[in-house]
């Protein structure tokens, strides 16, 4: 730690390396894990606990687990770990619901196309973005035709056969895609100088935020029929998607309003001073900055919305949670709730974690503060 004592002429002192043990892995371990006696004890204790957890968890999850069995009793005969057989046997239902077996390629194709359609929206630097965006615009129609059918010799599939993860993705992605633009409009409307636009936006936002989502879903499933002309059969799934969209649009609007209000007044003055119109200012100055600030809040709302899709189980739509509960109600698999709910949790965790990581990546990419 002691350097050779050297005297430099003022103005010629070179940059010296930091003292050893303060940077790099050694430095990190020393600073974070063993910085004091109590800290060192905690570190060792935690390592021991971690070891116990992993050892016990591994045997239940993997070593003693059963993958192939026809019901719970035969599972228990083979091993006393997790009985993943319930997931394996019902895996197709968890993913496709009751969508006819022979037609499931349509779901797979739609999902793959969804990834292609989403890519140019999520990654602004992608190649051929202009052409891919055209496809993104067409995608909703393509997906609707593929999944619902009824034209081009495609068998018409009733929406009450939809279920599982596919249902979650359909409700989640559609509501997310629709609620962002609607939320932006509501946020702008709430800031508008036009009194009527402002009043309508405020009423919509406050009503949607003030009512529990379950209530809205009940309204969607039952009450809406009273308001629509008799004889119109308005698909339940579409009603649910509309309600979900309205609900999360209200939240998104408030998140974006926060972003808009965080923009310094000088930005608008500068935009006014160079002669931009209201819509030009909104498009080039307000929204790019407001949306960037609001990314964490927006993604937070989206993740909430995505998980709230499980509430549709209450009005009789079978998302993965509903499928899981149906499996548990089966006498063959009665009592395997840990395995079932863990699996459902994993399905949701993958999507939500991906969204969360994406938002971090996007925040970093859009940051223009340093370098």
Partner 1 sequence: MNSKNKKNVIKINEMHKWFGSFHVLKNINLEVSQGERIVICGPSGSGKSTLIRCINRLEVHQQGHISVNDVELSGDLKNLEVIRSDVGMVFQSFNLFPHLSVLENCTLAPIWVRKMPKRDADELAMEYLERVKIPEQAKKFPGQLSGGQQQRVAIARALCMKPKIMLFDEPTSALDPEMIKEVLDTMIELAQTGMTMLVVTHEMGFAKKVADRVIFMDEGEIIEQNTPKLFFTKPTNDRTKLFLSQILNH
Q: Which residues bind partner 1 (CB under 8 A)?
A: 264, 266-267, 269-270, 272-277, 280, 284-285, 288-289, 292, 366, 368-371
Instruction: Please give the Cα distance from 164 to 98 (Å, whole number).
Output: 8
- Closest approach, Cβ 64 to partner 1, in A, equals 55
Q: Which of residues 201 and 286 has its CB atom nearest to partner 1 in the complex?
A: 286
Q: Which of residues 230 and 264 has its CB atom nearest to partner 1 in the complex?
A: 264
Helix/strand/coil for 156: coil
- Closest approach, Cβ 277 to partner 1, in A, equals 6
Tokens of 77: 């005969």
Q: At what angle do helices 337-366 and 287-308 cross, to 10 degrees?
A: 180
- Closest approach, Cβ 127 to partner 1, in A, equals 21
Q: Which of residues 276 and 328 has its CB atom nearest to partner 1 in the complex?
A: 276
- Closest approach, Cβ 133 to partner 1, in A, equals 19
Q: Which of residues 63 and 270 has its CB atom nearest to partner 1 in the complex?
A: 270
- Closest approach, Cβ 260 to partner 1, in A, equals 14
Q: What are phi and psi of 13, to 5 degrees?
A: -65, 120
The DSSP letter of residue 83 is B
Q: Which of residues 5 and 364 has its CB atom nearest to partner 1 in the complex?
A: 364
Give the number of other CB atoms < 10 A from CB of residue 97.
23
- Closest approach, Cβ 130 to partner 1, in A, equals 16
Instruction: Please give the Cα distance from 126 to 137 (Å, whole number).
Output: 16
103 within 8 A of 166, measured Cβ to Cβ: no
Task: Give the torsion through C-alpha atoms of 288, 293, 297, 303, to 10 deg.
Answer: 60
DSSP result, 22-52:
SSHHHHHHHHHTSSSHHHHHHHHHHHHHHHH
79 within 8 A of 64, measured Cβ to Cβ: yes
Instruction: Please give the Cα distance from 6 to 11 (Å, whole number).
Output: 14
Q: Which of residues 127 and 370 has its CB atom nearest to partner 1 in the complex?
A: 370
Q: At what angle do helices 164-190 and 287-308 cross, to 10 degrees?
A: 140
Q: Which of residues 231 and 266 has its CB atom nearest to partner 1 in the complex?
A: 266
192 half-sphere exposure, CB direction, 13 A CA radius: 17
- Closest approach, Cβ 280 to partner 1, in A, equals 5
- Closest approach, Cβ 261 to partner 1, in A, equals 16
Q: Which of residues 285 and 328 has its CB atom nearest to partner 1 in the complex?
A: 285
53 half-sphere exposure, CB direction, 13 A CA radius: 6
């Amino acid at each position: 730690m002691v350097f050779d004592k050297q005297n430099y002429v003022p103005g010629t002192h070179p940059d010296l390396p930091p003292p050893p043990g303060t940077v790099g892995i050694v430095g990190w371990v020393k600073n974070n894990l063993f910085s004091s006696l109590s800290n060192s004890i905690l570190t060792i204790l935690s390592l021991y606990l971690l070891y116990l957890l992993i050892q016990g968890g591994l045997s239940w999850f993997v070593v003693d687990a059963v993958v192939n069995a026809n019901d719970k009793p035969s599972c228990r005969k083979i091993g006393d770990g997790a009985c993943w057989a319930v997931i394996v046997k019902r895996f197709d239902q968890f993913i496709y619901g009751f969508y006819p077996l022979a037609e499931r390629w349509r779901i797979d194709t739609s999902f793959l196309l969804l990834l292609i359609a989403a890519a140019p929206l999520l990654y602004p630097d992608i190649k051929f973005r202009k052409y891919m965006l055209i496809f993104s615009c067409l995608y909703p129609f393509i997906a609707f035709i593929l999944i619902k059918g009824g034209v081009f010799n495609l068998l018409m599939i009733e929406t009450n056969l939809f279920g599982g993860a596919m249902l979650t993705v359909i409700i989640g992605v559609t509501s997310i895609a629709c609620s962002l633009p609607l939320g932006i409009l509501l946020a702008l409307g709430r800031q508008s100088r036009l009194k009527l636009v402002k009043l309508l936006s405020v009423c919509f936002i406050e009503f949607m935020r003030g009512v529990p989502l379950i209530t809205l879903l009940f309204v969607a499933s039952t009450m809406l029929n009273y308001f629509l002309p008799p004889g119109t059969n308005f698909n339940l799934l579409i009603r649910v998607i509309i309600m979900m969209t309205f609900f999360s649009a209200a939240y998104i609007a408030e998140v974006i309003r926060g972003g808009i209000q965080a923009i310094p007044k000088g930005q608008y003055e500068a935009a006014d001073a160079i002669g931009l119109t209201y819509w030009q200012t909104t498009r080039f100055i307000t929204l790019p900055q407001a949306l960037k600030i609001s990314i964490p809040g927006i993604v937070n709302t989206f993740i909430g919305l995505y998980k709230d899709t499980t509430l549709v189980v209450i009005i009789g739509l079978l998302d993965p949670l509903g499928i899981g509960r149906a499996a548990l109600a089966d006498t063959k698999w009665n009592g395997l709730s840990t395995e079932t709910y863990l699996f459902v949790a994993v399905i949701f965790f993958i999507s939500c974690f991906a969204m969360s990581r994406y938002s971090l990546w996007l925040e970093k990419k859009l940051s223009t503060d340093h370098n």
